[in-house]
Structure 1
Amino acid sequence: MTLGLDAESGELPAGWARAIISDLCEVNPRGFDEEPGDDDLISQVPMASVEAETGRIDASTRVRYGDLKKKSLTRFQENDVLFAKITPCMENGKIAKARGLVGGRALGSTEFHVLRSHGAVLPEYLTHYLLQRNVRITAEHHMSGAVGQRRVPRPYLESMEIPVPPLAEQRRIVTELDRQIARIEAGESAITDALAGMSELRARVADSAVSQHAGISSKLKDILREPLRNGVSAKATSDGSGIRTLTLTAVTRNDFSDQFTKLTSADPDRVSKLWLEDQDIFIQRSNSEELVGTSAIYRGDSNWAIYPDLLIRVRVDHSLALPEYVALVLSTSPVRFYFRQHARGLSGSMPKIDQATIENVDVPLPSLQEQQEAVTWVKKQESTIFPLSMAVEAAQADSIKLRSALLHAAFTGALVPQDHADEPASALLDRIRAQRAAAKKAPRKRAPRKPRTAPPGQEELPQ
């Protein structure tokens, strides 16, 4: 047994092969291998039922097939791989192997690509490969479309090349990945609980500060310096050129740094009014149900970056309200609940909030001095949370790096030993290609004709 070579050398371990996804899988198959009956129960899997970055799927919702079969939903079955094609779901890692489906079949969001293996790649192996951050970042560069509806095109996914180990080695890789990831997730679970606890604590602090001024309020639209403005959707570049553009993660993590930006091909003439200014507030107008309406305030240099279409910018009239105070109001529990309640979306699509919903947020509006006192009090409370927050975020960053290193090892042949007794991947691929080619050439069997009981045109009427 031997260990594989590092991917940086450009070589593959013994017995491995390179193949594009269209050779390994049927992409977006027309339907099920076996059509269910109208009264059969199957799973319904909207986008929200696929967890980000974990490969987990909730297939517990049962529906009668006949009630939904005429709707434009994606058909998939047990062991298919789901790949969210739309932004921001793809970037968030909504990718999973279909498992635990009721009756082995499901109807899901139209924003899934479906990959059905021909047999040379294990669905679990393919899922782990696609979940890699570098794979998703590259896919993002190839998205097409505009206005918050950018998608990974089917031809790009079909042409994606992946390293394919022998089938027996794939099983060993998946087993070891599952074992190691289970250990990582145990630590991540504690991190998630800690982050949730701090988020709830921050919300309580904000609620407490703002609730003292609940008697005096104004609509957000009445304290704006200029109208709300959406950002722009532009394709990411890969040659180091372009305009620096925020990603949604900058707002989710309240961190406006290079880490959460990308270079895009945005037209400079179209984005002249989209450059960031100090104390701009940004609201996510579309994201998952739990994140839609998330907001954050930018503190930094003007003209540093622009922002994407899925964000709405709020610029406050400083003579009426302090931007930091308004950002505090937008982070309170009542406002977040208001956004979730008013988010709308077509079946299977991401929930969205419109500008009118944001304009009509109630903002308690005491004097500027009282606003500053509220902001100062919140900062003092948060200063006690900050050291713990930094420690948790550092642990989260370490966990991400550990996952990345683990997956890199898996797909360069360094995670488990190679066994020269395994059938090479190239041999299995050749055999499957031959079988598929023969199946295409084989004549289709026609059902035998029923003998006529009367001359044409004189058939008997049914009794």
Structure 2
Amino acid sequence: MSEGMGGLPEGWVWARLGDLGEWFGGGTPSKKEPDYWEGGDVPWLSPKDMKSERLADVQDRITERAVNESSVRMVPRNSVAIVVRSGVLEHSVPVASVPFATTLNQDMKAVVAYSGVLPEWIAWALRRYERKILGECRKAGTTVASLSTPALMDMRVPVPPFAEQHRIVEALEEQLSRLDAAEAQLSSVIRRSAGLEKKWLNILAVGRSMRRSGTEDLDSLEESKTGRFDEGNLIELPHGWKWRRASAVCEQIVSGSTPKAHLMSPGSGDVPFLKVYNISQGGFVDFSVDPTFVGVETHEGLLKRSRVLPGDVLTNIVGPPLGKTAMVPDVYPEWNINQAIVSFRAGPDLTPRWLTLVLSSPYILGMLKRTSKATAGQFNIAVSTCRDLPIPCPPIDEQEKLNEAAEQWLTLSENVRGAVANSRIRATELRTALLGRAFVGGLVPQDPADEPAATLLARIAAEREAAKPVRKAAKRAARPRKATAAAVATKAAPAPTPAPATSVQQELFDQ
């Protein structure tokens, strides 16, 4: 690959995005006009539709009247759409190919490529230079993140010969389709792993793994448990197990409280103060997230009731989400919790690890969630309900065996998640590398017989110039010459009427 101007291969050029196609903006027809919206069949594309690289449809439609009477314009099929105003622009730039004609809302732009430029090339260029767009085109100081249209139009991207655009796009999409398929498989692994983890937690929590093969589907257990905690609704446990109220097998069950802001210190202090976001979805306490502390006096005085110790089991009772569960670690000798968390302290008939397993199982947690009350968009579980919660209690030695089985299974699940996370990182790196190679001419070989891109863009520019309407120059009125003294005198004394030349004229003249 020989390099031409600007480090590009021979036949390539840098070009402004604004010179590669016709750009369209959008608008929103008045919501006060029902005739603009009701029964409409014209697609109206907005940022919420930008969920894939190639769109199949949009959520909203408008009427032909809205197109004719409002600021929206029809964008021809096979355009490339980009979000130019949205909070998502804080971290990414959604881009999608649009195979159908559409209109746009005011937060979108779309480009229809000129003849000789593939729309797919523009789409991949926008994705390839996403970081550059965010760095150079994003407006500063706006309430909602947005892109500057002039800056976007002026941004330069490499353009290869038209034939090479075809070869690169074909090779790029073939490779990326394989990568997409691999990522889909990774997502499937995660879903299956999560489903199996929930199933095994259910099986372990009700003791079925000790009596049966463990292959039965326990989803029906949740469906069969309705209403409050009535003994008649509880499933039968294995021999030697008992259902017992949490208040009977726990030394204490308390919720926390939140002191005034001036009593809490971010970053460092005496006693760590846990909030809901410190309970990880993975089942552990993550105190690296916005750590907050309270003083010893506050901990032992105002917040004395909500003191927790290592080994206590925490579950959040305000959500969504509800029921994140974790055991308090021994990093600090004592902790404190806010009002959205309830703490269970295991008594002599329970091990803390068993109590954690039970409160993490979908079956037990499902019973608790069904008692929640919705208030102002939040779900709340009463502490009294937590105290009334039935807990399956096997003998201590059996709890230990089940704890070990759960530990092995959860470790395996964690290893699977870690492997998938690493594979996803690698997939992202491969995607970036493929796009990088494609836009420096390293993905497919060049063909010297291809028409250079400079010639192509010059022809596009000439065609655009020729298509412009010819403006007729306005005729300028002759500027009056400076009047002479003779002309002024002539104007002041007009020439006498000529004498009549015929008898008829003479007669009229005499009158």
Normalised by the size of structure 1, how large is the TM-score?
0.57
**CA 1:23–1:397 in 2, change beyond 3 Å: closer, same or farther?**
same
SS at match of 2:172: helix
Partner residue, 2:96: 96
Q: 1:415 aligns with which of 434, 439, 443?
A: 443
Partner Cα separation in structure 1 for residue 104 and residue 75 of structure 2 = 8
Partner Cα separation in structure 1 for residue 163 and residue 382 of structure 2 = 63
* Partner amino acid, structure 1, of 2:315: Y
Q: 1:156 aligns with which of 151, 156, 162?
A: 151
Distance apart, 1:275 and its partner CA? 7.7
Partner residue, 1:124: 120
Instruction: State whether residues 4 and 418 of structure 1, in contact with CA within 8 Å, keep that contact through their aligned partners in structure 2.
Output: no
Partner residue, 1:325: 315
Partner residue, 1:139: 133
Partner residue, 2:258: 225
Q: 2:168 aligns with which of 170, 173, 186?
A: 173
Q: CA RMSD in A?
A: 5.0
Question: Which one scores higher on RCO, CA 8 angstroms, separation ≥ 6?
Answer: 1
Instruction: State whether residues 279 and 324 of structure 1, in contact with CA within 8 Å, keep that contact through their aligned partners in structure 2.
Output: no
SS at match of 1:77: coil
Instruction: State whether residues 206 and 328 of structure 1, in contact with CA within 8 Å, keep that contact through their aligned partners in structure 2.
Output: no
Instruction: State whether residues 118 and 162 of structure 2, in contact with CA within 8 Å, keep that contact through their aligned partners in structure 1.
Output: yes
Distance apart, 1:420 and its partner CA? 1.1
Partner residue, 1:299: 286
Distance apart, 1:169 and its partner CA? 0.6
* Partner amino acid, structure 2, of 1:78: R
Partner residue, 1:76: 75
Distance apart, 1:388 and its partner CA? 1.0
Partner Cα separation in structure 2 for residue 318 and residue 126 of structure 1 = 62
SS at match of 1:114: strand
Distance apart, 1:148 and its partner CA? 6.3
CA deviations on 1:373-425 (whole Å, 9 max, x unpaired) are 9xx98x95643410111111122122111111111111010001111111111
SS at match of 2:87: coil
Distance apart, 1:200 and its partner CA? 5.3
Q: 2:57 aligns with which of 59, 65, 82?
A: 59
* Partner amino acid, structure 2, of 1:117: A
Partner Cα separation in structure 2 for residue 43 and residue 385 of structure 1 = 44
**CA 1:382–1:325 in 2, change beyond 3 Å: closer, same or farther?**
farther
Gaps of 5+ in 2: 28-37, 206-221, 230-244, 246-254, 292-302, 325-374, 394-401, 473-511
SS at match of 1:78: coil
Partner Cα separation in structure 2 for residue 282 and residue 109 of structure 1 = 36
Instruction: State whether residues 4 and 412 of structure 1, in contact with CA within 8 Å, keep that contact through their aligned partners in structure 2.
Output: no
Partner Cα separation in structure 2 for residue 398 and residue 325 of structure 1 = 35
Gaps of 5+ in 1: 32-37, 217-221, 229-272, 284-293, 305-315, 335-355, 445-463
**CA 1:167–1:205 in 2, change beyond 3 Å: closer, same or farther?**
same
Instruction: State whether residues 90 and 145 of structure 2, in contact with CA within 8 Å, keep that contact through their aligned partners in structure 1.
Output: no
CA deviations on 1:65-95 (whole Å, 9 max, x unpaired) are 3365367767433121111222316745521
Instruction: State whether residues 80 and 119 of structure 2, in contact with CA within 8 Å, keep that contact through their aligned partners in structure 1.
Output: yes
SS at match of 2:468: helix
Instruction: State whether residues 43 and 106 of structure 1, in contact with CA within 8 Å, keep that contact through their aligned partners in structure 2.
Output: yes
SS at match of 2:443: coil
Within 5 A, what are the aligned runs for 1:380-399?
380=407, 382-399=410-427
Distance apart, 1:440 and its partner CA? 2.8
Instruction: State whether residues 79 and 111 of structure 2, in contact with CA within 8 Å, keep that contact through their aligned partners in structure 1.
Output: yes
Distance apart, 1:328 and its partner CA? 9.8
Within 5 A, what are the aligned runs for 1:240-259?
none
SS at match of 1:325: strand
Distance apart, 1:323 and its partner CA? 10
SS at match of 1:187: helix
Instruction: State whether residues 317 and 380 of structure 2, in contact with CA within 8 Å, keep that contact through their aligned partners in structure 1.
Output: no
* Partner amino acid, structure 2, of 1:87: G
Is residue 177 of structure 2 the alignment partner of residue 186 of structure 1?
no
Instruction: State whether residues 317 and 323 of structure 2, in contact with CA within 8 Å, keep that contact through their aligned partners in structure 1.
Output: no
**CA 1:173–1:295 in 2, change beyond 3 Å: closer, same or farther?**
same
Normalised by the size of structure 2, how large is the TM-score?
0.52
Instruction: State whether residues 158 and 439 of structure 2, in contact with CA within 8 Å, keep that contact through their aligned partners in structure 1.
Output: yes
Instruction: State whether residues 42 and 65 of structure 1, in contact with CA within 8 Å, keep that contact through their aligned partners in structure 2.
Output: yes
Instruction: State whether residues 161 and 450 of structure 2, in contact with CA within 8 Å, keep that contact through their aligned partners in structure 1.
Output: yes
Instruction: State whether residues 316 and 322 of structure 2, in contact with CA within 8 Å, keep that contact through their aligned partners in structure 1.
Output: no
Instruction: State whether residues 16 and 153 of structure 2, in contact with CA within 8 Å, keep that contact through their aligned partners in structure 1.
Output: yes
Distance apart, 1:203 and its partner CA? 7.3
**CA 1:62–1:152 in 2, change beyond 3 Å: closer, same or farther?**
closer
Is residue 23 of structure 2 the alignment partner of residue 27 of structure 1?
yes
Distance apart, 1:22 and its partner CA? 1.3
CA deviations on 1:234-264 (whole Å, 9 max, x unpaired) are xxxxxxxxxxxxxxxxxxxxxxxxxxxxxxx
Aligned length: 332
**CA 1:318–1:331 in 2, change beyond 3 Å: closer, same or farther?**
farther
Q: Which moved more, 1:14-23 or 1:392-401?
A: 392-401
CA deviations on 1:295-324 (whole Å, 9 max, x unpaired) are 9998354779xxxxxxxxxxx999289996
Distance apart, 1:15 and its partner CA? 0.2
Query: What is the percentage of aligned positions where both structures have the same residue?
Result: 21
SS at match of 2:316: helix
**CA 1:361–1:136 in 2, change beyond 3 Å: closer, same or farther?**
farther
* Partner amino acid, structure 2, of 1:178: E
CA deviations on 1:182-222 (whole Å, 9 max, x unpaired) are 2222212211222333455677899999x999879xxxxx9
Partner Cα separation in structure 1 for residue 431 and residue 186 of structure 2 = 15
